[in-house]
Amino acid sequence: MKKLDRYLLWPFLRNLASVTFTVGVIIIVINLIEELRDFIDHDVPILTILEYYVYFGGWVIKSFFPVFILLSTLFTISLLARKNEILAMKAAGVSLYRITAPILLAAIILSAGHFYYNEYIFPPLNQKRLEIKEFTIEKRSRRQYVTASNVYRQISPGYFYTILSFEVERFIGKEIKVYRRVNNRLAEIISAPTVSYVDFKWLAQGGTVRRFSDSGETYTEFTSMVLSDIKDKPEDLAQPLGNPQDMGYDQLKSYIDLMKRTGAPFERELVDLGLKVSFPVTSAVVVLISIPFAANPRRSGIAVSFAAGAILALLYFVAFRIMQSAGYNQKIPLEAAVWGINGVFFLFGCVSMLLARK
């Protein structure tokens, strides 16, 4: 790393920390004002509120980190341009590409870190935030999340099971029925009053098996039977707390597999899965857009940079949500919904770099 790289990176990282803290606090205060009535109505202790907002701060980083990168880049480059330091670098033979390189590389590394944070660090922390919100602040019962009712799951086409109720924490359920169809005809029904999950296997107890064929019906009883074709785990039957967007990458993939097994629609979740990769990449894309704009000394300054950053962030998020919604409704291909906005902004950034004064 050369002296020029350190000279550019240090203010960029310093501004990133300042922007993250300042804007993050503003977002937290706004949310606190919105939630204040709930806190007062439910008599929530101050320590619980503080704990909630510690976890909420993690959500702010997950959701707004590309905006923080954008603002810190604009601030860093615009201040250098205002002091004519960009002009001095160019006069010394340093091109705008060379000035961009260390910040862009840092943004790429931060994008990778943002992805790892979003998918492997944030989900368990956010789960605690949701639990505080649901059970401590809203005073709702945990029962609906630990007891699954009227469960329906598809094992394969024409092969499914139902459970009247299942206690997720105790691994015990009531009234399981397994149905198998062959050539659009009911071929078998397995029913039992109780079912449990023991040694990673589903065990039906005290039930019956009815098989149907052209020659008639057979009826047998059993004391216990291992239902080896059921691959779901007890936690798969519980109602998830929060939205699929808040799950980690691996969790969401498993959730999509579960939706496929149940025959439920999963197009929205596929879009969310793709966005988990494309959204962190935005942090690198916005650098290409912001540096050519901020490097012009006639457009430099904190106020101008902040206004430009706010407009760019607003345009991006509005377009992002429009494409996401279109992907949810299958109005556009999955790839366009996931990568379309990043592609447009990337091309815009490349053109801006090419047209900028080097």
The Cα–Cα gap between 358 and 356 comes to 6
Of the pLDDT bands very low, low, confident and very high (cuts 50, 70, 90), residue 118 is very high
Which residue's structure tokens are 């605690």? Answer: 128
* pLDDT reading at 18 higher than 90: yes
pLDDT tens per residue, range 71-108: 898 888 888 888 888 888 888 888 888 888 999 999 99
Does residue 244 contact residue 252 with C-beta atoms inside 8 Å? yes
- Nearest to residue 345, comparing CAs of 286, 293, 291? 286
- Nearest to residue 25, comparing CAs of 59, 57, 72, 1? 57
Does residue 162 contact residue 194 with C-beta atoms inside 8 Å? no
Amino acid of residue 308: A
The Cα–Cα gap between 348 and 326 comes to 22
Q: Please give the pLDDT value at position 297.
A: 61
Q: Which residue has the higher pLDDT, 195 or 241?
A: 195
The Cα–Cα gap between 39 and 33 comes to 10
- Phi, psi for 178 (deg, rounded to 5): -115, 125
Structure tokens at 46: 């101050």
β-bridge mates for residue 134, sequence order: none
Can you tell me the mean pLDDT for 3-13?
90
Can you tell me the mean pLDDT for 220-242?
83
Indicate the burial class of 18 (C-beta count within 10 angstroms; 0-12, 13-18, 19 or more): middle
The Cα–Cα gap between 316 and 319 comes to 5
Q: What DSSP line would sit under 133-148, residue for residue?
A: IIIIIS---SHHHHEE
- The runs of H, that is alpha helices, within the chain are 3-41, 46-82, 85-91, 96-116, 122-131, 143-146, 234-237, 249-262, 267-294, 302-328, 334-355
Can you tell me the mean pLDDT for 307-334?
83
Q: Please give the pLDDT value at position 302.
A: 62
Q: Please give the pLDDT value at position 26.
A: 94
Please list, residue by residue across 150-171, b when 16 or more beta carbons sit within 10 angstroms of its beta carbon and e when fewer do: ebebebeeebbbebeebbbeee
Helix (H, G, I), strand (E, B) or coil at 192: strand
**Strand pairing report for 201-213 and 216-226:** antiparallel
pLDDT tens per residue, range 299-317: 555 666 667 767 877 888 8
pLDDT tens per residue, range 136-181: 887 776 666 677 778 888 788 888 888 988 888 888 999 999 999 8
Q: By percentage, how much of the chain surpasses pLDDT 90?
A: 33
Of the pLDDT bands very low, low, confident and very high (cuts 50, 70, 90), residue 10 is very high
Q: Write the DSSP symbol of residue 239.
A: P
Of the pLDDT bands very low, low, confident and very high (cuts 50, 70, 90), residue 52 is very high
The Cα–Cα gap between 134 and 38 comes to 12
Does residue 298 contact residue 78 with C-beta atoms inside 8 Å? no
- Phi, psi for 15 (deg, rounded to 5): -65, -35
Helix axes 249-262 and 267-294, enclosed angle (nearest 10): 150
- Measured CA to CA in angstroms, residue 142 lies from 134, 137, 157, 278, 330 at distances of 9, 13, 33, 34, 35
Point out the least confidently predicted range of 51-60, 177-186, 255-264. 255-264
**Strand pairing report for 172-182 and 201-213:** unpaired
* pLDDT reading at 261 higher than 70: no
Can you tell me the mean pLDDT for 290-305?
69
* pLDDT reading at 1 higher than 70: no
Q: Please give the pLDDT value at position 233.
A: 85
* pLDDT reading at 298 higher than 70: no
Which residue's structure tokens are 């160019």? Answer: 90
